[in-house]
Amino acid sequence: MKKYVGNQTVKFASPPSITAAAAIVGPKEGEGPLRNCFDFISPDVHFGMDSWEKAESEMVRQTVHLAVKKSGIPIEEIRYMFAGDLLNQIAGSTFGMRSFGRPFFGLFGACSAIGEGMALGAMLLDGGFANHVAVNASSHYCSAEKTFRLPLELGTQRAPTAGWTVTGSGAVVLSAEGNGPYVTAATTGAITDMGITDANNMGAAMAPAAAAVLAAHFKDMQRTPGYYDAIITGDLGKIGTTLLHTLMDEEKFSIHDRHNDCGLLMYDCEAQDVHAGGSGCGCAASVFAAHLLEELRSGAIKRLLFIPTGALHSVATLQQGESMPAIAHAVAVEV
Amino acid sequence: MKKYVGNQTVKFASPPSITAAAAIVGPKEGEGPLRNCFDFISPDVHFGMDSWEKAESEMVRQTVHLAVKKSGIPIEEIRYMFAGDLLNQIAGSTFGMRSFGRPFFGLFGACSAIGEGMALGAMLLDGGFANHVAVNASSHYCSAEKTFRLPLELGTQRAPTAGWTVTGSGAVVLSAEGNGPYVTAATTGAITDMGITDANNMGAAMAPAAAAVLAAHFKDMQRTPGYYDAIITGDLGKIGTTLLHTLMDEEKFSIHDRHNDCGLLMYDCEAQDVHAGGSGCGCAASVFAAHLLEELRSGAIKRLLFIPTGALHSVATLQQGESMPAIAHAVAVEV
């Protein structure tokens, strides 16, 4: 049975159900507006470990363990696990997942990872290849700064356009059957590169990718933005959000009145001094698992379009003068 | 319809067909035993670019372009593209794929990437989510050494247990319908970690992952190794191969008489001074695309079990004293 529509979208025949989710974050995230939504707020960024990379892996392990525990599904019935993060060779994910002993697909989509994993996981469920899958995405402020920018010890001043990498991990357990909310459609993004080279302005690099996948979704599904109660991007932050609104107006799919961004939901940007807002794979993942899913469950949102966004550069590509390609994936979740 | 069997395996209801493939390699690989099999042998490792990372991306772009061209399928009908490599943030893949404008799933499974991509791609095809997908995996000796080891300029002596990262890229185009060879089953590996910490002996880290997924495949499918004409691992090299044979004997699934390894097929190890053999995501991918697929098409192999293997460490995890987790995925390809 053909389940694809238009150019980039799949519409699920038996929409997979979100059975459980968990979100674990660091102390700064625990001081933000969503402080009452997370499953666990670590009192420090170490998670009991002696390195930031190990801390991220431990956070991943705890988050996936908790999501599976909340689902009530025995771990050996989780058919596949998907995970992605920002570290070189996605070490946060692989080391975090290595103790589970379940078939594993490692992903790299930068901060779009939770969207990539939810889309693939839902396809595997709807396709009859699994009964249950778990998907995780994570980031850690300290390990990300070390990987991409400058040693934290320098205390370098941050650019006003820069985002703040979320220390957080979000996991969802999807099942072939259940009581919802349901993943009803997924639009997979193509790589978009508008020539942005300023690594301190990732919102600008990612906004065109978000706009492209949103436009593709509306065209493929023959919907307007009004179909959704909420359209929530991953981590565009303030600057990327402004750009996205302009780009969507140009596409004749205005989203101002129902759009928000996980990077803006995560922090009180002024009071918490995070400049452009939150970023990192863990931003969209933990905001979805802790907050958006609860909004769906409570009925505050009935139809959500969730669009995690990622910038696909590395330190080497930036040093070689390359621009920053970006990608975004749109996942429709409905009650 | 339930398409999964046993603990880790899926058996395709309508096995996807391999419509086309392409393999592009560097000069050293072009001097090896498979020299007459590759689509293109670059006369140098630069691929016309001014950095090794850009060279890898250009090799990826050329390989995917060629595989799609050989398939005769218009690029806009390739529903999904999957790619993975070894570089930080899989820059070889993302920069190599950014010009295609097709929905993209970035993968990280280290040298198991081609197996991960073929398994996921086949599931998306059999599940009705696509008509055609393209999968690529790549590695480049110079960019990999720079990423993981020492500056090439030092001319450091190599350990006898070390492999030689293949400069190569292999792409396959899979279709929902076609004349085969067909992807008939896929067993997805779990992360295995036997505590190996010597990054110059990745064969030892990966052999247990290969053994685990092989044993799972035979149990899930209720088959013995004799079902297959050839059982070909990704890049275990000499040491990993010896270990795998021992481990499989212990599992009572002896594979000596029909096993080979892409890392041993790629080079004349003694004459080409590559020590333990070839490695890297591009090793299994290019050997499959250039050689194994031709063996299937010619009827020399009728039933192939292909098991790309990957070591999931990063420089940071090694420096922090971590062991090397590994993973392997088994893909059955039959005429």
The token pair that represents A326 in the structure block = 């970006």
Of B7, B90, B325, the CB nearest to A108: B90
Taking an 8 Å cut-off on Cβ atoms, the answer to whether A95 and B317 are in contact is yes
Instruction: Let me know whether B27 and B162 are in one domain.
Output: yes
pLDDT tens profile B261-320: 999 999 999 999 999 999 999 999 999 999 999 999 999 999 999 999 999 999 999 999
* B33–chain A nearest CA distance, Å: 31
A102, B193: Cβ pair inside 8 Å? no
Per DSSP, what are the bridge partners of residue B278?
A: B164
Indicate if the pLDDT at residue B250 is higher than 90: yes
| Same domain flag for A170 and A189 | no
Residue B246 — φ and ψ, nearest 5°?
-65, -45
Model confidence pLDDT, tens digit, residues B210-237: 999 999 999 999 999 999 999 999 999 9
Q: Are A183 and A321 in contact (CB under 8 A)?
A: no
Give per-residue pLDDT as tens, A118-150: 999 999 999 999 999 999 999 999 999 999 998
> In this complex, do B103 and A2 lie within 8 Å of one another by their Cβ atoms?
no
Q: What is the pLDDT of residue A194?
A: 95
Inter-chain CB proximity B190 and A101 less than 8 Å: yes
Q: Which residue of B has its CA nearest to A14?
A: B1
Q: What is the CATH number of the domain that holds B296?
A: 3.40.47.40
Cα distance from A275 to chain B (closest Cα, Å)? 25
Q: Name the amino acid, one letter, at A271.
A: A
Q: Is the model's pLDDT at B41 over the cut of 90?
A: yes
Cis, bond preceding A181 (omega within 30 deg of 0)? yes
Average pLDDT score over chain B: 97
What ipTM did this prediction achieve?
A: 0.98
**pLDDT at A1 > cutoff 90:** no
Cβ separation A4–B129 shorter than 8 A: yes
Task: Check CB contact under 8 Å for B107 and A106.
Answer: yes
Chain A and chain B share a number of CB contacts under 8 A equal to 181
Residue B197 Cα, gap to closest chain A Cα (Å):
14
CB-based contact A128 B102, cutoff 8 Å? no
Q: What is the mean pLDDT of residues A301-330?
A: 97
Q: Looking at A148, A175, A202, which one is the last position of a domain?
A: A175
Do residues B164 and B275 make contact, with C-beta atoms less than 8 angstroms apart? yes
- Cβ distance of B2 and A105 shorter than 8 Å: no
Q: Mean pLDDT, to the nearest integer, of B45-59?
A: 98
Burial level of B123, CB count in 10 A (0-12/13-18/19+)?
buried
- At residue B27, does pLDDT exceed 90? yes
The reply to whether A99 and A218 lie within a common domain is no
**A57: distance to nearest CA of chain B, Å?**
11
- Interchain proximity A106–B108, CB inside 8 Å: yes
- pLDDT at residue A110 in the model: 97
Of A126, A158, A175, the last residue of a domain is: A175
Name residue, tokens 């400069």.
B167
Name which of B102, B188, B193 is nearest A103 (Cβ-Cβ).
B188
pLDDT exceeds 90 at position A56: yes
Whole-number pLDDT of residue B1:
79
What distance in Å separates residue B78's CA from the closest CA in chain A? Answer: 10
**Domain shared by B242 and B288, yes or no:** yes
Min Cα separation A97/chain B (Å): 8
Residues A161 and A15 in one domain: yes
* Confidence check: pLDDT of A165 > 90: yes
Q: Tell me whether strands B309-311 and B326-328 are parallel, antiparallel or unpaired.
A: antiparallel
Closest alpha carbon to A83 in A37, A126, A114, A42: A114
User: Do B139 and B119 share a structural domain?
Assistant: yes
Candidates B81, B108, B118, B136, partner chain A, best to mutate (most A CBs within 10 A) = B108
B174 alpha-carbon distance from chain centroid:
15
For residues A265 and A307, membership in a common domain is answered with yes
CA–CA gap between residue B18 and residue B24 (Å, rounded): 18
Q: Are residues B243 and B318 in the same domain?
A: yes
Does the beta-carbon distance from A317 to B106 stay under 8 Å? no
A162 & A258 share domain:
no
Task: Return the closest-CA partner of residue A210 out of A140, A170, A260, A174.
Answer: A260
Domain end call among A147, A175, A203:
A175
In a shared domain, residues B292 and B256: yes
Cβ of B107 within 8 Å of Cβ of A103? The answer is no
Contacts of B320 in chain A (CB under 8 A): 51, 53-54
Among candidates B307, B326, B111, B108, which has minimal Cα distance to B198? B326
**pLDDT higher than 90, residue B84:** yes
The count of domains in chain B is 2
Q: How far is B171 from chain A (nearest CA, A)?
A: 18
Of B98, B102, B128, the CB nearest to A127: B128
Q: List the one residue out of A284, A291, A30 whose CA is nearest residue A163.
A: A284
When pLDDT is cut at 50, 70 and 90, the band that residue A222 belongs to is very high
Residues A241 and A108 in one domain: no
Of A123, A128, A191, the CB nearest to B3: A128
Burial of B170 (0-12, 13-18, 19+ CB in 10 A): buried
Check whether residue B306 and residue B264 sit in a common domain.
yes
Query: What residues in B contact A193, CB-CB < 8 Å?
Result: 98
Average pLDDT over residues B172-180: 98
Q: Backbone phi, then psi, for A154, in 5-degree steps?
A: -70, -25
Cα dihedral A34, A36, A37, A42 sign:
positive
Instruction: For an interface test with A, give the residue of B191, B281, B322 to mutate (most A CBs within 10 A).
Output: B191
Structural domain range at position A300: 182-334
